[in-house]
Structure 1
Amino acid sequence: CATTQQQPKIVSIVGFGGMGKTTLANQVYQEIKGQFECWAFLSVSRSPNIMTILRTILSEVSGQDYSNTEAGSEQILISKINDSLLDKRYFVVVDDICDVDTWVIIKCAFPATSSTSRIITTTRINSVAHSCCSSFNGRIYNIRALDMVHSRQLFHRRLFKSDEDCPSYLQEISEEILEKCNGLPLAIIAISGLLANIEKVENLWNQVNDSIGRALERNPNVEGMMKILSLSYFDLPLYLKTCLLYLSIYLEDSTIKKKDLIRRWIAEGFIHREGKYSAYEFGERCFNELLNRGLIQPREIDVYDNVNSCRVHDTILDFIISKSVEENFVTILVVPTLTIRNQSKVVRRLCLQRVEEGNSAVLIADLVLSKVRSLTMGRGMLEIPSLEEFRHLRVLVLTECFGLQNHHLVNIVRLFQLRYLRIQSPRISKLPEQIGRLGCLEILILRDTRVRELPASIVNLKKLIHILVDVEVVFPDGIAKMQALEMLKDVKVSIQPFDFLCGLGQLNNLRNLQLDLRLEVDSETEDTDVVGEERKKAMVSSLCKLGTQNLRSLTIYGGSNLFHEESLCLPTLKYLYIRFSDFPQVPTWMGSLRNLQRLRFVVAALKQDDLCTLGALPSLLFLHL
């Protein structure tokens, strides 16, 4: 047994929900993780799946993706994590631990003989905090509510440009509202998000103040927050209420990807094209409004300060789920805890999560499935129900379903109203040949499958807007028929038929394109130069056609030789990323990109003329050189 001096140091942050434990832990994590050799941040949640947690730790500390593997037992995973961390200085945050038993298993993954390593845990429960600290060389940090000075700073920062900008006629009412928030950051953020959408008039703010009551003072953890969240919810326009309720399908502490969430909103029919905005652009506005109101929290932020993913605070998720149940919006079955979030038998949207093998058929046996519009199955060994029972499906999501096989997909071709199809399963190797019958399909996502060729009939999908596939997938001839396409990712050019390279330029509505131009050289083939020259000309011609139509974003892996030698015409392009490839110098054609806002590429040498070329781009906002 390691002595106290040999053990990692641990701090356990304890306090009730909404106090900012996760925010504090994440702030420290982001600031100092670079000082360590290995680091990981993981959320445990109130219904922990130990295998998922251990796979997450192993993925983060090893740098390999184990999220979709069936990697042995708990003991095997713990052993692999120990091996990865042994003799290394590591920093780990374990967020939101809700019981001692879970911690007893998780702690075994961390070598106890690394005195220079650090662990932070967060919990709402004192006994859990004491257990964490007794395991290693630890201390408990009791997080406190904000004092009035800091409460005021948080409140004003979200509502006004600075403290001085708070009008004098609103100062007294602001103080009253803050007193009722009782120093709870989540409450302050939620109420300021509500007030930000209300005119800065004293009588309207008084109405909000009166509506809050003094519930937070009586019970700072539940009742008061629910009151504030109810006010925020009923202040939302109808389309935003629907978008918010949809978040109830995600597991607690999930990282919710913005792009995928917006695509699902579109497929469900919650949002549409609005004036000058496309449906997706309007979806981004909805996402940002929920962020600004404090109803969702940013998780991943890119170098441009764009929020690429979000999470939902546990307390807010509880509220969303309660509203979802009230309105029979989503029926969620969570196993092995056998939680049923909705008692209505007539189901609109069905979500099966973490189901053990053989349980799913029993769980849905008493449900009326004829009106189901959305089916989400994920994280478990599922007994896949026959898709014949779901004739009116608009959205079908099958992710991390280890029991999913090709024969389960046969009846997909009968789902004539299907708009959104996402398949993420290592046992799927082909799609049904007649998938072209799905005339309403708008979004197709294939990730982490063994599919290597798309069926020939897929080009008949006239409404398909977005295709995201694994990079090894080959497209059939006839891509030019898919005129509705706006997004196409991730395509390996070297394995595509010549027809694809020519037809690509005819996709007049394509806005976002991601290509892999890295070549697999075969030195034994004598005529590769001739074939390569023809394919090169076809590729350049297609890109130039797209660049004068609607192409806005182009991401390319490799291909610097191609684009250095050729002259590209891409006047509509706003975003250009070229990765895994070095240019000998800045290509002259880049000087014609008059609408380009973001440019990222690698250049071997930079001359004065190159700087002049880049400096003359009139719209450029971000340059990564």
Structure 2
Amino acid sequence: MAETAVSPLINRLIPLLTQEAKLLRGIHREVADIKDELESIQSFLKDADARAAAEEDTSEGVKTCVKQVREVAFRIDVAIDRYLLDVAQHDPHRRGFISFVHKTAHLLKTLKPRHKMESEIKEIKASFQKIKERSDRYQFKFIDQGSGSSAPKARWQDPRKDSLYLDDIDIVGIEFPRDTLISWLVNGSPHRTVLSVVGMGGLGKTTLVKKVYDHQIVRGHFDCHAWISVSQSYNIEDLLRSMIKQFCEVRMELPPVGMDSMDEGSLINNLRDYLQQKRYVVVFDDLQPLPPEMAWELFCKRAFRFDFGAHCPQELEKLSHEIVKKCQGLPLAITAIGGLLSTKNMTLFEWRNLHDNFGFELGRNPHLASVNKVLSLSFEDLPYHLKSCLLYFGMYPLSFALSCGILIEQWIAEGFVNKINDKAFKDIGQEYLIELINRSLVQVLKIGYDGVITLCRIHDLLHEIILQKMEDLSFCHVLSKEESSFEGLSTRVSVNRSSLGVLEQFKKSHIHSLLFFNINEFPISFMSKFLQNFKLVKVLDFENTSLDHLPEEVGNLFHLRYLNLNNTKVKTLPNSIGKLQNLETSFMWQTAIQEIPVRINMLHKLRRLIVRYFDAKMELSLNIIRGVKFHWSIGCLKALTELKNVDANYGRVKLIEELGKLSQLTDLALVNVTREIGRALCVSIENMNCLKDLFVSSINEDEVIDLQPISSPPKCLQFLHIQGRLAKLPD
């Protein structure tokens, strides 16, 4: 996946060279040249990715070339961020790029940032030239953009084929799904039917279907049958020839004369004629996980097949259950790990060592190579835009239950979600997630009242594979408590249980994404210095940490697009929050923040703002959702699509009237609503043509919420939640 470093960079340069071209006045041509260079090597990287996946080309020269391209792409990305930051710092009013450029374009030629960028561009172009020269010298060809190349034929042995030859004694847990599939095939519709057995790689799909395919009832019911293994690099003509040959072999017939020289059309016509008036079954091979008791049975069969009569000794039982739990019912993993442990000494030390170093063993131990390869296949088969999205799961700890809404916003802030016509980024991101779920790579944990998936996770073994790929691709560095330093080109860092001592040394100014987990303290002095070191950061997530203060220095984070303070102890927001011109999403759920500074009205790109004041001492009552105070002039935030939870009693009628100007709102939650503002609220709601979800909570249990004056409810409204006494709704 070498292309992960280049494609998003090209996508980033396109709007920079069009919509905001004047920003690059004087260096526009040079930046355009770099974009052209990136496009010229994009096909080379795609070809390198395909060859690596097929293990056809393990040349160290190609790996070195890809590594160098990734390093140059990294320099370009950082250079652009630094240039835009420097230009923004020369804007005294911070009203946005375009207005600034119109007023001071004549000064750009003398700006220091421009000269720095010019120098950097020259060095980058020279680096590209050297990479090309070396690639030509060692015959690693850069392919012209759009020419592509034929996909390399896979030469590695697909480990899934081993499951085709398993004896019944080695298989557990497939009796019911096997009999169900047989019944569907034999007793189902007499017309052509497609049955799909889906699931993540390694779940046992091939094993199950092979037992159905070989069953005597199935063989006796159909006139002919064929098993087709479809690899990533399959050839359609070879696939058709294989099907015809297998049909003929079953019926002890000779294949058609000249079949090997037939083209695709002739093969299809021949096959259609052959299958007329015949019952046939064809399996296309590229369930679910085993329940705990069957997983344990399979593990014991493999791990103790030479000792203890296939039963686990008592001293290893607890640790064995922990190892099986890591496999989460995945038959391929259980079989491979059980087989590996059967070769080791039956001691707690040996087994604990494998348990504690599972990720390392998965990458290097030949006994587990099949697990690694099969799980990697699911990743390699993804389209480019979904690979980065799946890799992002690796930034979260093992077995972590992810909020889908938060995850999608992080994808958007990272630039992974590509714009499609007028569709909202949030909706496109939701489609990405659903595709990963449909590919059985992401597991659904919870679905909301509106049918939208709210919590998800990935399989623990897939998490280990992703960690390997993140390291190989410099996608993200996971900084854990065991580490004392961090080196590398990664622009993303996930900090888990790391000490402040390590963080204080951590001054990588090029980092643009920081996620924190299990951090117990954030002293004020530390936070001020910390934010000064990360001026290029775009994603900042402190959720569920002990953060209790956000210093003024946060206003220096010009590139910040996403800020998550959920479930922290932060009490106030600094006025400098108004400097965050590029902030699009901010979550402040369950914090001690009671009021949002008026300066937030300067954030014209803000799309989602979700707040909720929480005091551990507050009594449980109707108003358990406490609103946050907003200045009444909030109507200038035209980009807002989601706003929760606003204290309607603070700004009263003026605030409600301003809300009516937010025509892009799809989700709105108001609390502390009084009868006094009812008529103004109805008028504002009528103006919200995009509103889908409305939550309204009264100031107390006796207050009546009157929505009768609404003459025409928003046409998109799907969900209306009322908390309190309600006057009669309009017809």
Please classify the TM superposition score into its range, dividing by the shorter chain length.
0.5 to 0.7
Equivalent residues in 2 for 1:189-268, closer than 5 Å: 219=336, 222-268=368-414
SS in 2 for 1:428: coil
User: Greater share of helix residues, 1 or 2?
Assistant: 2
The one-character-per-residue Cα deviations of 1:240-270 (angstroms, maximum 9, x if unpaired) are: 0000000111111211111111111101111
2:495 alignment counterpart: 352
Q: Which amino acid aligns with 2:177?
A: H
Structure 1 gap ranges (5+): 1-142, 184-193, 520-531, 590-625
2:461 alignment counterpart: 315
Q: Which amino acid aligns with 1:543?
A: I
Q: Does 1:516 align with 2:543?
A: no
1:147 alignment counterpart: 174
CA separation of 1:351/1:382 partners in 2, compared to 1, >3 Å: closer, same or farther? farther
Whether the aligned pair in 2 keeps the contact of 1:253 and 1:314 (CA below 8 Å) is yes
CA separation of 1:281/1:433 partners in 2, compared to 1, >3 Å: closer, same or farther? same
Cα drift, residue 156 of structure 1: 12
Of 166, 176, 179, which aligns to 2:207? Answer: 179
The one-character-per-residue Cα deviations of 1:60-101 (angstroms, maximum 9, x if unpaired) are: xxxxxxxxxxxxxxxxxxxxxxxxxxxxxxxxxxxxxxxxxx
Of 685, 689, 705, which aligns to 1:543? Answer: 685
- In structure 2, C-alpha distance between the alignment counterparts of 1:231 and 1:282, rounded to whole Å: 25
1:371 alignment counterpart: 510
Of 631, 636, 646, which aligns to 1:476? Answer: 631
- In structure 2, C-alpha distance between the alignment counterparts of 1:175 and 1:309, rounded to whole Å: 22
SS in 1 for 2:686: helix
Q: Which amino acid aligns with 1:451?
A: I
Of 415, 419, 432, which aligns to 2:574? Answer: 432
Cα drift, residue 466 of structure 1: 0.4
Aligned-residue Cα RMSD (Å) equals 4.1
CA separation of 1:178/1:473 partners in 2, compared to 1, >3 Å: closer, same or farther? same
2:721 alignment counterpart: 578
Q: Does 1:488 align with 2:632?
A: no
1:500 alignment counterpart: 655
- In structure 2, C-alpha distance between the alignment counterparts of 1:155 and 1:496, rounded to whole Å: 67
2:697 alignment counterpart: 557
- In structure 2, C-alpha distance between the alignment counterparts of 1:308 and 1:152, rounded to whole Å: 35
Cα drift, residue 219 of structure 1: 1.6
Cα drift, residue 426 of structure 1: 4.5
Whether the aligned pair in 2 keeps the contact of 1:428 and 1:450 (CA below 8 Å) is yes
The one-character-per-residue Cα deviations of 1:160-207 (angstroms, maximum 9, x if unpaired) are: x9998655999xxx9996129999xxxxxxxxxx99999997967999
Of 518, 531, 538, which aligns to 1:394? Answer: 538
- Aligned pair count? 403
Q: Which amino acid aligns with 1:576?
A: F
- In structure 1, C-alpha distance between the alignment counterparts of 2:207 and 2:704, rounded to whole Å: 64
Structure 2 gap ranges (5+): 1-169, 212-228, 243-282, 287-330, 339-367, 613-625
Whether the aligned pair in 1 keeps the contact of 2:687 and 2:714 (CA below 8 Å) is no
CA separation of 1:420/1:564 partners in 2, compared to 1, >3 Å: closer, same or farther? closer
- In structure 2, C-alpha distance between the alignment counterparts of 1:544 and 1:168, rounded to whole Å: 48
1:328 alignment counterpart: 474
- In structure 1, C-alpha distance between the alignment counterparts of 2:178 and 2:611, rounded to whole Å: 47
Q: Does 1:292 align with 2:438?
A: yes
CA separation of 1:346/1:360 partners in 2, compared to 1, >3 Å: closer, same or farther? farther
1:381 alignment counterpart: 520
Cα drift, residue 478 of structure 1: 1.5
Cα drift, residue 306 of structure 1: 3.5
Cα drift, residue 584 of structure 1: 6.6
- In structure 2, C-alpha distance between the alignment counterparts of 1:466 and 1:176, rounded to whole Å: 42
Q: Which amino acid aligns with 2:336?
A: N
Cα drift, residue 564 of structure 1: 5.0
1:460 alignment counterpart: 602
Whether the aligned pair in 2 keeps the contact of 1:476 and 1:497 (CA below 8 Å) is no
Q: Which amino acid aligns with 2:695?
A: T
Q: Which amino acid aligns with 1:551?
A: L
TM-score (norm 1): 0.57
CA separation of 1:242/1:217 partners in 2, compared to 1, >3 Å: closer, same or farther? same
TM-score (norm 2): 0.49
- In structure 2, C-alpha distance between the alignment counterparts of 1:196 and 1:554, rounded to whole Å: 49
- In structure 2, C-alpha distance between the alignment counterparts of 1:324 and 1:397, rounded to whole Å: 19
CA separation of 1:401/1:149 partners in 2, compared to 1, >3 Å: closer, same or farther? closer
The one-character-per-residue Cα deviations of 1:502-561 (angstroms, maximum 9, x if unpaired) are: 100001211111222455xxxxxxxxxxxx53x322222211211xx2222212234993
Whether the aligned pair in 1 keeps the contact of 2:389 and 2:416 (CA below 8 Å) is yes
Cα drift, residue 146 of structure 1: 2.4
Whether the aligned pair in 1 keeps the contact of 2:204 and 2:332 (CA below 8 Å) is no
Whether the aligned pair in 2 keeps the contact of 1:215 and 1:223 (CA below 8 Å) is no
CA separation of 1:217/1:299 partners in 2, compared to 1, >3 Å: closer, same or farther? closer
CA separation of 1:411/1:217 partners in 2, compared to 1, >3 Å: closer, same or farther? closer
1:451 alignment counterpart: 593
The sequence identity of aligned pairs, in percent, is 24
- In structure 1, C-alpha distance between the alignment counterparts of 2:632 and 2:602, rounded to whole Å: 11
Whether the aligned pair in 2 keeps the contact of 1:554 and 1:573 (CA below 8 Å) is no
CA separation of 1:455/1:164 partners in 2, compared to 1, >3 Å: closer, same or farther? farther
Whether the aligned pair in 2 keeps the contact of 1:462 and 1:481 (CA below 8 Å) is yes
Cα drift, residue 371 of structure 1: 1.1
CA separation of 1:293/1:564 partners in 2, compared to 1, >3 Å: closer, same or farther? same
- In structure 2, C-alpha distance between the alignment counterparts of 1:200 and 1:444, rounded to whole Å: 49
Cα drift, residue 150 of structure 1: 2.1
CA separation of 1:541/1:436 partners in 2, compared to 1, >3 Å: closer, same or farther? same
- In structure 1, C-alpha distance between the alignment counterparts of 2:374 and 2:606, rounded to whole Å: 41
1:302 alignment counterpart: 448
CA separation of 1:162/1:255 partners in 2, compared to 1, >3 Å: closer, same or farther? farther
1:48 alignment counterpart: none
Q: Which amino acid aligns with 2:551?
A: L
CA separation of 1:331/1:204 partners in 2, compared to 1, >3 Å: closer, same or farther? farther
Whether the aligned pair in 1 keeps the contact of 2:632 and 2:651 (CA below 8 Å) is no
Structure 1 stretch 296-305 or stretch 247-256: which is displaced more?
296-305
CA separation of 1:263/1:424 partners in 2, compared to 1, >3 Å: closer, same or farther? same
Whether the aligned pair in 2 keeps the contact of 1:182 and 1:216 (CA below 8 Å) is no
SS in 1 for 2:705: helix
- In structure 1, C-alpha distance between the alignment counterparts of 2:239 and 2:471, rounded to whole Å: 31
SS in 2 for 1:434: helix
- In structure 2, C-alpha distance between the alignment counterparts of 1:424 and 1:581, rounded to whole Å: 27
Cα drift, residue 271 of structure 1: 0.4
Equivalent residues in 2 for 1:416-431, closer than 5 Å: 416-424=558-566, 426-431=568-573
Whether the aligned pair in 2 keeps the contact of 1:558 and 1:578 (CA below 8 Å) is no
CA separation of 1:218/1:391 partners in 2, compared to 1, >3 Å: closer, same or farther? same
CA separation of 1:154/1:562 partners in 2, compared to 1, >3 Å: closer, same or farther? farther
Q: Which amino acid aligns with 1:474?
A: K
- In structure 1, C-alpha distance between the alignment counterparts of 2:598 and 2:492, rounded to whole Å: 31
Question: Considering only CA atoms, is the larger Rg found in Structure 1 or Structure 2?
Answer: 2
Q: Which amino acid aligns with 2:693?
A: S
